[in-house]
Amino acid sequence: MAIIDPIITGLSSGWQHIDASTLEKDRHFEADVVIVGTGAGGGTAAEILSQASVKVIMIEGGALKSSTHFDMEERHAYPNLYQQAAALKTADKGIGIFQGRTVGGSTTINWTTSIRTPEPTLDFWQQAKSVKGLSATELQPWFEKMERRLNIEQWQYEANRNNAALRQGCEKLGWEYTVIKRNVKGCWNTGYCGMGCPVNAKQSMLLTTIPSALDNGATLISRVQSR
Ligand code: SF4
């Protein structure tokens, strides 16, 4: 069964995309807003601003890859889609950080678990970082908007053996657990989300807000490196 790649289709229709690694001389661009990074924050901002007729340029350090390239192989996905080829770690090297380096950022390679920012985190930002306007109440309509936009719903399938064992352990210990919500539409349940979804079921920025922004006239510049 042939899988249609909406990125290839969009590029054919005239999306403004520039691979900065192919530039041979300086270019000048004009925009109202330049967004650095095309992950969850950048993609969402690009869509909302472009819907308001703001001229947007999206800047991304990684390459533009899409379902045509997602072959479910770690040896291809890690060097091509991840920061430091998936070797990024915390300063003490204690925890690996799987951060995306591709158009769509980490939303292209994450495992689709979609949770609202926890209230203790929002409280910490407000108290320790003086962040204003991001309480759970103030963010509720925005969370709801993006949950609708990205088709975020509780996973309906029966748990696999690994997760069933976790659930059983939680129940025996009396620990709280929940079934995660995921941003998928027509998921094949392949379990290869971390290599990039080969069938375009994952509702990442790559498949949702970035195409929308490009349809609205935004420009995407990929493989940008700072000097
Ligand atoms: S089909 Fe579903 S499980 Fe498979 S990679 Fe895509 S989102 Fe993940």
Whether residue 33 sits in one domain with residue 137: no
Residue 3 has a pLDDT of: 84
| Protein residue closest via CA to atom 7 of ligand 1 | 202
Q: Is 207 in the pocket of ligand 1 (CB under 6 A)?
A: no
- Alpha carbon of 183 to ligand 1 centroid (Å): 10
- Give a yes or no: residue 201 inside a domain: yes
Whether residue 168 sits in one domain with residue 139: no
With 0-12 CB in 10 A as exposed, 13-18 as middle and 19+ as buried, what is 136? middle
**Cβ distance 77 to 70 under 8 Å?**
yes
Structural domains in the chain (count): 3
Q: Is 77 in the pocket of ligand 1 (CB under 6 A)?
A: no
Say how many Å lie between the first and final Cα of the chain, rounded: 44
pLDDT at 227 over 80: no
pTM of the model: 0.93
Whether residue 194 sits in one domain with residue 174: no
Average pLDDT over residues 202-225: 98
| Protein residue closest via CA to atom 8 of ligand 1 | 193
| Protein residue closest via CA to atom 6 of ligand 1 | 197
Q: Which domain holds residue 171?
A: 151-183
Whether residue 107 sits in one domain with residue 203: yes
Whether residue 44 sits in one domain with residue 89: yes
Residue 160 has a pLDDT of: 87
- Give a yes or no: residue 79 inside a domain: yes
Secondary structure letter of residue 168 according to DSSP: H
- Give a yes or no: residue 14 inside a domain: no
Residue 157 has a pLDDT of: 86
CA 200 to ligand 1: nearest atom: 6
Whether residue 155 sits in one domain with residue 122: no
| Protein residue closest via CA to atom 2 of ligand 1 | 187
2 vs 86: which has the higher pLDDT: 86
The residues near 227 (Cβ < 8 Å, ≥ 6 apart) are: none
Handedness of CA 163, 168, 171, 173 (dihedral sign): negative
Return mean pLDDT, the chain. Answer: 96
CA 187 to ligand 1: nearest atom: 2
Whether residue 177 sits in one domain with residue 155: yes
pLDDT at 107 over 80: yes
- Give a yes or no: residue 210 inside a domain: yes
Whether residue 202 sits in one domain with residue 171: no
How would residue 226 be classed by pLDDT, with cut points 50, 70 and 90? confident
- Give a yes or no: residue 205 inside a domain: yes
Of 149, 168, 202, the residue at which a domain comes to its end is 149
Helix axes 136-149, 119-129, angle to 10 degrees: 130
Pick from 219, 209, 217: nearest CA to 105:
209
- Give a yes or no: residue 43 inside a domain: yes
Residue 2 has a pLDDT of: 78
Whether residue 215 sits in one domain with residue 155: no
How would residue 221 be classed by pLDDT, with cut points 50, 70 and 90? very high
- Alpha carbon of 202 to ligand 1 centroid (Å): 6
Whether residue 98 sits in one domain with residue 158: no
- Give a yes or no: residue 70 inside a domain: yes
Whether residue 96 sits in one domain with residue 203: yes
Instruction: Express each pLDDT in 59-98 by its tens digit.
Output: 999 999 999 999 999 999 999 999 999 999 999 999 999 9
CA 70 to ligand 1: nearest atom: 5
Handedness of CA 153, 158, 162, 167 (dihedral sign): positive
208 vs 155: which has the higher pLDDT: 208
**Cβ distance 214 to 17 under 8 Å?**
yes
- Give a yes or no: residue 78 inside a domain: yes
- Alpha carbon of 224 to ligand 1 centroid (Å): 28
Q: Is 190 in the pocket of ligand 1 (CB under 6 A)?
A: yes
Whether residue 61 sits in one domain with residue 107: yes
